[in-house]
Amino acid sequence: TERSLVLIKPDGVARGFVGEVIARIERKGLALVAMEHRLTTVAVAKEHYAEHAERPFYGSLVDFITGGPLVALVIEGPRAIAAFRQLAGGTDPVEKAAPGTIRGDFALEVQFNIVHGSDSAESAAREIGLWFPNL
């Protein structure tokens, strides 16, 4: 079994997709280990997206993630990391995410793509430590 860090980003919360995203996680068979609705500090946002620090969209991404409440979750199950990436769909909600995925069904723009999911076991360990240091 494996754990992954999921964020329902501020656009997903503002648009009312918290229940929809959690329902899809549960229907897939993944378990919820931790869940918190919260505002994100700039420090946590920068650390979370540190791999993108040199990208031109980094500043607007940090502003977006800190701009309103989000829901952070830890999910668990067999191949949870890949399983949630499958549910989310590709980063670009129009060009890459298939219909039937969260992004493919509910998003139009790359930055406003509703959810985040860890992309590897190393990322998951780092991100769970960042968002849920007590786990």
Instruction: Indicate which single residue of 13, 30, 45, 61 sits in contact with ligand GTP (rule: CB under 6 A).
Output: 61
Query: Buried (b) or exposed (e) across 71-107, using 16+ Cβ within 10 A?
Result: bbbbbebeebbebbbebbbbeebeeebeeebbbbbbb
Residue 53: helix, strand or coil by DSSP?
Answer: coil
Under the criterion CB under 6 A, does residue 111 sit at the interface with ligand GTP?
yes
DSSP secondary structure of 55-80: STTHHHHHHHHHSS-EEEEEEEETTH
Q: How far apart are CA 109 and CA 23, in angstroms?
A: 23
Ranges within 75-114 binding Mg ion (CB under 5 A): none
Closer by beta carbon to ligand GTP, 77 or else 117? 117
Instruction: Indicate which single residue of 29, 57, 94, 121 sits in contact with ligand GTP (rule: CB under 6 A).
Output: 57
What is the DSSP secondary structure assignment for residue 92, as one 8-state letter? S
Instruction: Indicate which single residue of 18, 33, 44, 110 sits in contact with ligand GTP (rule: CB under 6 A).
Output: 110
Q: How far apart are CA 35 and CA 43, in angstroms?
A: 20
Instruction: Indicate which single residue of 41, 86, 91, 120 sits in contact with ligand GTP (rule: CB under 6 A).
Output: 91
Q: Write down the least CB distance from residue 36 to Mg ion, Å.
A: 20
On whether 15 is known to bind a ligand per the annotation, the reply is no
Is 116 a known active-site residue?
yes
On whether 113 is known to bind a ligand per the annotation, the reply is yes
The residue to which tokens 């919260």 are assigned: 38
Closer by beta carbon to ligand GTP, 24 or else 116? 116
Binding site for ligand GTP (CB under 6 A): 57, 60-61, 91, 110-111, 113, 116-117, 119
Catalytic residues: 116
